Each structure stands twice: as structure tokens, then as C-alpha cells.
């Protein structure tokens, strides 16, 4: 009886661990920081209007988009090398948003919105298809760096089960299969929580030498806040008052010594998570 009991415990432990299983590891797919070539990609799941669910890896420094089937086999590679307008750093490409097949036109080719830079006056919004053909171009700014209400999330419900995507400092992104399903109520609760909290995006460009732009979102029912910069010793370096008139702040760093700094969006109700900014000279 004792041996049977031990066996049941072992089986239960294996089953519990088996609820979250590593499914696949993607190299050069970690989403950590825009200024680091090893960890500045985006791995997400997109349900295309024609092709259906596919993994999409936007490699911003490698300048390509890789598209995989749900069994992780490579389906398509889209080059970003020749699209017009890189980031102000001159090394990687800008942000790729709203990948689709029928959002911007009615053919079945994949297309995407491309942001060349979010630091005025260099900003440009363009829309390309998978062949590199330019569908639209304008100097208006789609200044979005957070993933809220866009296409990249940590957990997705799919037709082949629920998937969790985690990023790692070595540049890898891992896909885990989950035993359960993300309920609509949890997703709605998460979104409501995001709406109630102060949100702050990564500074861009980062690292920077002269200026950088920070996108932010004030919580619901809060009209003003402050973005505060600190050095590594906790000393306040800069403070900027912000409101709902804009959703981004252009900051000069020419008067700041080279080094690593942290910044935070503070309101009367709460404060955002801290973000890191690296200044180079």
C-alpha cells in the first residue's frame, strides 16, 4: 500500500509539472530592449485573416520578419533590409505594428505598419506589403511602444491549445504549452487593471546621446502626472509634468552625463514600473 501511495504521489507530481511544457525555443527572438541587438525582437502569435494562426518573429536588428506555422516550421521570411528609414541609431529598424493580410488592402499578401523613428522631426509612418512595396507614407506619428491592445502578449488562446511566450537574456524566446485556457474574464480583468495603472514605455532610442522619446499612458480618471528620472544612487536628475494633451515626451539628454538612469511615471494614485535609460557620449 505504501509503495502504491508513493507511486500515486510521483504520478501526480509529474502530471502537475506536465501542465506547463516547453514546446519550442526560438533563437534571436527575445523581447527585452530596443537598443540591444541580442534582445530586441518580437515573438508573437497572429491570427491572419487568410493564413490563420501563425507565429511571427520581428527581428529588428537582423532586419527581417520570420513567420512560422503553429508547429514552428518556417513558412515565410520578409526582408526589412530595403525599407526606407531606419531608427536614429542607424543600426536596427523601427517598430513593426499591425501585421495583417486584409487590414490595409484586400489582397492576401501580408502587410504591416512601419514606424521609422519616434523622435521628431524624423518621424515617419509607412505601410508596406510583404514584397517591400510601399502602400502608404505620411509624416504623422503612430507613437506606440507598449504592447497593450496590440498583437504581442505573453499568453494566447489558439486552436491548438493555450501558449505562453517568455523572453530570455541570452536572446532566446521559449514557447510553452499550457494545460488550461485564458478565460475572457481574466483577459478583461487584466485590461481593466492596465487601464487603472500608470503605463510607461521603453525610451526610444535607447541608448541615446542627445535626445529620446518616452511614450506614456495616464490611468483612467487621472489627468496629470510626472515623469521622474533618477541616477543609480537614487538622486533625482530630471522631472517633467505631463497630462492628457500628449502620449509621449521628447527629452533632451545632452546635459546628462553618460551612464545608466531609471525613470518612472508618478501620479497621485500610483506609479508605473521603473524603466532604464542608457546615455552615451
How does residue 122 score in pLDDT terms, banded at 50, 70 and 90? Answer: low
pTM, rounded to two decimals: 0.60
Return phi, psi of residue 209, to 5°: -115, -35
How does residue 110 score in pLDDT terms, banded at 50, 70 and 90? Answer: very high
Omega of the bond leading into 121 within 30 degrees of 0 (cis): yes
* 89 pLDDT above the threshold of 50: no
Return phi, psi of residue 197, to 5°: -105, 155
* 11 pLDDT above the threshold of 90: no
* 203 pLDDT above the threshold of 50: yes
Q: Closest Cα to residue 213, out of 227, 198, 202?
A: 202
Question: What pLDDT, on the 0 to 100 scale, is given for residue 77?
Answer: 97
Return phi, psi of residue 12, to 5°: -65, -40
48-65 average pLDDT score: 89
Burial (CB count <10 Å: 0-12, 13-18, 19+), residue 201: buried
Return the DSSP state at 31. Answer: B
Lowest mean pLDDT among 3-12, 99-108, 143-152, 165-174: 3-12
Each residue's pLDDT tens digit, 218-256:
877 788 889 999 888 888 899 999 988 887 888 899 899
| CB-based contact 212:200 (threshold 8 Å) | no
CA distance 222 to 239: 18
Return the DSSP state at 92. Answer: S
* 1 pLDDT above the threshold of 50: no
Which residues is 128 bridged to in the sheet?
112, 134
| CB-based contact 8:147 (threshold 8 Å) | no
* 66 pLDDT above the threshold of 90: yes
Each residue's pLDDT tens digit, 126-148:
889 999 999 988 877 665 444 44
User: Does residue 55 or residue 223 have the better pLDDT?
Assistant: 55
155-180 average pLDDT score: 88
How does residue 150 score in pLDDT terms, banded at 50, 70 and 90? Answer: low
Q: Which helix (H) or strand (E) holds 163?
A: strand 161-167
Q: Report domain extents, the chain.
A: 20-182, 198-279
CA distance 217 to 198: 6
How does residue 19 score in pLDDT terms, banded at 50, 70 and 90? Answer: confident
Each residue's pLDDT tens digit, 156-167:
888 888 898 988
Q: Write out the three cell numbers for 250.
A: 521628447
Question: What pLDDT, on the 0 to 100 scale, is given for residue 274?
Answer: 74
For 198-279, CATH number out of 2.60.40.10, 3.40.50.300, 3.30.70.100, 3.90.550.10 equals 2.60.40.10
47-54 average pLDDT score: 89
Most confident residue range from 5-19, 51-65, 74-88, 183-197: 51-65
The DSSP result for 158-213, as a single string, is ETTEEEEEEE-TTS-EEEEEESS---HHHHHHHHHHHHHS-EEPPPBSSSBSSEEE
Q: Closest Cα to residue 217, out of 230, 227, 229, 206?
A: 227
* 10 pLDDT above the threshold of 60: no
Three-state SS across 207-269? CECCEEEEEEECCCCCCEEEEEEECCCCCEEEEEEEECCCCEEEEECCCCCCEEEEEEEECCC
| CB-based contact 130:110 (threshold 8 Å) | yes
Amino acid at each position: 500500500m505504501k509503495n502504491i501511495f508513493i507511486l500515486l504521489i510521483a504520478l501526480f507530481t509529474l502530471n502537475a509539472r506536465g501542465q506547463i511544457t516547453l514546446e519550442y525555443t526560438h533563437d534571436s527572438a527575445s523581447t527585452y530592449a530596443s537598443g540591444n541587438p541580442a534582445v530586441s525582437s518580437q515573438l508573437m502569435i497572429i491570427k491572419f485573416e487568410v493564413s490563420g494562426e501563425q507565429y511571427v518573429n520581428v527581428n529588428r536588428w537582423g532586419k527581417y520578419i520570420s513567420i512560422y506555422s503553429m508547429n514552428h516550421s518556417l513558412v515565410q521570411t520578409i526582408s526589412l533590409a530595403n525599407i526606407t528609414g531606419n531608427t536614429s541609431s542607424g543600426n536596427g529598424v523601427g517598430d513593426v505594428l499591425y501585421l495583417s493580410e486584409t487590414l490595409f488592402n484586400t489582397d492576401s499578401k501580408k502587410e504591416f505598419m512601419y514606424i521609422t523613428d519616434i523622435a521628431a522631426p524624423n518621424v515617419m509612418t509607412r505601410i508596406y506589403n510583404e514584397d517591400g512595396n510601399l502602400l502608404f507614407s505620411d509624416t504623422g506619428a503612430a507613437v506606440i511602444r507598449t504592447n497593450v491592445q496590440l498583437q504581442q502578449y505573453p499568453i494566447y488562446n489558439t486552436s491548438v491549445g493555450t501558449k505562453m511566450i517568455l523572453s530570455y537574456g541570452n536572446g532566446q524566446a521559449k514557447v510553452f504549452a499550457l494545460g488550461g485556457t485564458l478565460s475572457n474574464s481574466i483577459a478583461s480583468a487584466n485590461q481593466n487593471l492596465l487601464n487603472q495603472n500608470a503605463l510607461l514605455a521603453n525610451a526610444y532610442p535607447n541608448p541615446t546621446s542627445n535626445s529620446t522619446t518616452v511614450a506614456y499612458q495616464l490611468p483612467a480618471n487621472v489627468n496629470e502626472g510626472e515623469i521622474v528620472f533618477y541616477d543609480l544612487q537614487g538622486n533625482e536628475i530630471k522631472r517633467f509634468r505631463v497630462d492628457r494633451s500628449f502620449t509621449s515626451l521628447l527629452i533632451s539628454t545632452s546635459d546628462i552625463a553618460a551612464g545608466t538612469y531609471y525613470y518612472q511615471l508618478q501620479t497621485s494614485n500610483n506609479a508605473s514600473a521603473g524603466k532604464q535609460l542608457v546615455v552615451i557620449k
